[in-house]
Structure formats: structure tokens, C-alpha cells
Structure 1
Amino acid sequence: MQYCNHCQVKIRGNKERCPLCKNMLSADNSNGMRIYPQIPLGYDRHLVMRMLVFMSIVALVVSFTVYMLVPADINLPIFTFLGLLSMWLSIILVLRKRNNITKNIMWLVTLVSILSVLWDWRIGWKGWSLDYVIPAVCVAAIFTLYVTAKVMKLSARDYIVYFLLGGLFGIVPLLFILFGWLNVLYPSIISVAANIIFLSAIIIFQGENIKSELSKRMHL
């Protein structure tokens, strides 16, 4: 068995050159069993980021050009800038929190909600952020939590976190309804209903596991 000093792997047969790097092979004097290296699948992250930067610049230039050539009541460059800012903040957040799905979802919901309110306020308050965006984001977060829990086959400990997050997402649109901050009610009503269904499913199908986990933690 031959050995490649460059790839640090063993090669079966009597080859003179490594099939991976084409360097000359030497005799292997170790007793390990590793034949070929584990090469993880990946993508050119730097190329993707450059493409996103380029697309952002193009979007800003195009929006400014269109606004100058065809003036309108809506400030298109501001809209574009706020949209790109939201996109980049979301990307940065996903990259920083990529190892914790529940925390990632929580931060994304918070970020999108705050940005939508600021955006709504900046262009002249119309209330669409409270009427549509935040309830829609809460429903999407609840659905994502449910799918993630089913796909990843999470333990009871994780279901407790999901239970609390689901409850939090459901409270926000309910507060809008109670305080009379909405012009359109049905998105928030749908969001609250989806949250009730989600929490009911967690309690019915994972109630015993959650109770057992709480007993362990609380020493009940």
C-alpha cells in the first residue's frame, strides 16, 4: 500500500502517483486503515458573497436611475435600500446563529418585525407592518418550528423550547388585537389560531414527555 504525503492518505495498488493530487507516492509504514480522505461538500462562499454584493449595487443603481427618470410619490431608492439592508442583516444573523435553529428563528422573527415597523414608519405610517407583516412572520415561524421538530425528531427537552417560542409568537398578534392597533384583523386572528393549533399539537402528542422532562428539571 502506497502513501501520499501531500493528501495524507493511503492508496491501494502499485500506483506511482496519487489519484487525488498527482504527486509521487511513497511506501506506507503505518498500520492505519484510512484509504481516501473525507472531502466535505461545499460551495465557494466568497464567490456567493461577491455575487450578493454585486447584485445589491446593481439594485441600488437601477432603483435610483428609474426614480430619476420616472419620478413617483414612492421613494424607490429608499425602498430598495431598506430591502437590501433587511436581506444583509438576515444573512449575517443566519451565518452567526447557524448552529442553533431555534435561536436563529427567534432572532429572524425579531429582526424582520423591527425592520418592517421602521420601514413602515419611514415611508409614512400606514400600519401594514402590524396588519400583515408581523402576523405573517409569526405564522411562518410557527410552521418552521413544527416542521423542524418533526424532521429532526427532537427530544422532549427541545419541545419545551419550541413550546415557549410558539407561545411567544402567538402572544404578539394577540396584543395588537387587544390594544386596537390594527386596521385589518384577519391576519392576526389567523396567526393566533395557528399558534393555538401548534401548542395544542405539542401538548397532545408530546405532553407526557414534556411533563417528564419538567419533573426532572424542577425535581417534582
Structure 2
Amino acid sequence: MQFCEHCKVHIRGNRKYCPLCQNVLTGEGREEEEIVPAIPTSYQYNLILRVMVFLSICIIVLSFAVNALFPVQVNWPMFIIAGILCVWISLAMVIRKRHNVPKSIIWQVAVISILAVIWDWRTGWIGWSLDYVFPIACVVAMIVMYISAKVLHLGVRDFIIYILLDGIFGILPVIFLLCNLLQVKYPSVISVSCSILSLAAVLLFEWENIWEELKKRLHM
């Protein structure tokens, strides 16, 4: 019989993931023990995807309109488009690898940031990788985590992980600000602000569930 380390329960049948928490099961299962019928998992994609497409179009149009009214040397609407593309790519990868959402998001932010820094360095180091790409990647990661939690109906255990991730995403842009490594500071300020607000929202509205989960996991 298979066993779930997170729920501390034995699972009959030949399953790969726990039906309660979706963690990987240990032990060996038997086909004849399967008593739970296979129920296909479905997500309410249509409305969420339509809203996201509409918001993406609105943001792109608004960025080009603002740039046309208040032109600057930096073509920042292209960074907005790149950020939106990152949102869609990240969301698609997270949903595909939904059994390990936090790890997938961390790897994406790390790879995008490292590639941007290398590209910036090889082209003469203008500083756009730290000014724009990294804070945008942090904000995108927080957006993807929130949407993934809602779409995939993730539990309290994952909220705890999200709190830690939000803290990491908020601290790193602060380091660049304190070290005076940025020429354009408002993207990093926005990233830090979004991280603090996200962390505050989770703590305020999910604190009871998080505390119960911590007591259960720490055997308090």
C-alpha cells in the first residue's frame, strides 16, 4: 500500500500522487486495490484567460500611449511587452509543472535574470538588466504565483512556500537600491512594494490557516 508523507495516510490503489495534497506517494501500489474512480481534473480556464488577454492588451496599448505623450530615450514599452510575454510563458510552464510550482517559478526567475545580466554585460553594461528585467521578473513571478494558486486550488502548505518566495523577491531589489546599483529606481520600488503588499495580504487573510498548518507540521 502506498503512503503519503505529508498527510500521513495510506492510499489504496496504484496512484502516483496523493488525492488530498498532490504530493508524490511512496511505496508500491496494486491495480486490484484501486477503489477510487478516475475523475478528470478540470480548471476554469476560459474566463481567467480572457481576462488576462484583455488586461495584457490594455497594458500594452496604455504603455505605448503614455510613451507617445511623454517620450523618453528608453523604449520602455518594449520591456512591458517582454514582461507580459514572461507572464504567459511562466504561467504556461507552471500549469504544466503544477506539482512543483515554487521550484518552477524560482528557476524561471533565475534563468531570465542571469541571461539578462550576461546580455547587458556583453553589450557594454547599460544597466537595463538590473533596472528593468530583474524587478519585472520578480513582479511577474508574484503574479504567476497568485494566479496559479487560484487556478490550481493549491492548499495552505503552498501559501507558506509563497510567503517565503515573496520575501525573497522583495529583498533582492532592495539590495540593488541600497548598493546604489540602479540608474532607474522605480521598477525596483514597484517590485518591493508589490512584494510587501502580497506578503501582507497573505498574512492578513490566511494567517489562521497558515498557523494551523504550522502547528500540524511542527507537532506543536
- TM-score between the two structures when normalised by the length of structure 2: 0.55
Question: Runs in 1 of length 4+ with deviation above 6 angstroms?
Answer: 93-96
Match of 1:125? 125
Q: After TM superposition, give the deviation of residue 219 of structure 1 in Å.
A: 2.3
Match of 1:148? 148
Distance 1:96 1:118, change over 3 A: farther
Match of 2:171? 171
The one-letter code matched in structure 2 to 1:145 is M
The one-letter code matched in structure 2 to 1:132 is Y
| 8 A contact 1:97–1:103 mirrored in 2 | no
How far apart are the structure 1 equivalents of 2:111 and 2:175?
19
How far apart are the structure 2 equivalents of 1:103 and 1:170?
17
How far apart are the structure 1 equivalents of 2:150 and 2:163?
14
Deviations, residues 179-215 of structure 1 (Å, cap 9, x unaligned): 1111111000000000011111111111111111111
The one-letter code matched in structure 1 to 2:175 is L
Match of 2:100? 100
How far apart are the structure 2 equivalents of 1:101 and 1:136?
19
Aligned length: 131
How far apart are the structure 1 equivalents of 2:157 and 2:99?
17
Distance 1:189 1:213, change over 3 A: same
Structure 1 unaligned spans of 5+: 1-37, 41-89
Larger Rg: 1
Distance 1:218 1:109, change over 3 A: same
The one-letter code matched in structure 2 to 1:164 is L
How far apart are the structure 1 equivalents of 2:175 and 2:134?
12
- TM-score between the two structures when normalised by the length of structure 1: 0.55
Distance 1:159 1:96, change over 3 A: closer
Deviations, residues 36-68 of structure 1 (Å, cap 9, x unaligned): xx9x9xxxxxxxxxxxxxxxxxxxxxxxxxxxx
How far apart are the structure 1 equivalents of 2:94 and 2:159?
22
| 8 A contact 1:156–1:213 mirrored in 2 | yes
How far apart are the structure 1 equivalents of 2:139 and 2:196?
11
The one-letter code matched in structure 1 to 2:184 is V
Higher-RCO chain (CA-CA 8 Å, sequence separation at least 6): 2
Match of 2:218? 218
Match of 1:24? none
Structure 2 unaligned spans of 5+: 1-37, 41-89
- Alignment RMSD (CA, Å): 2.4
Equivalent positions of 1:69-88 (< 5 A) are: none
Query: Could you tell me the percent identity over the aligned residues?
Result: 53
Distance 1:107 1:152, change over 3 A: same
The one-letter code matched in structure 2 to 1:133 is V
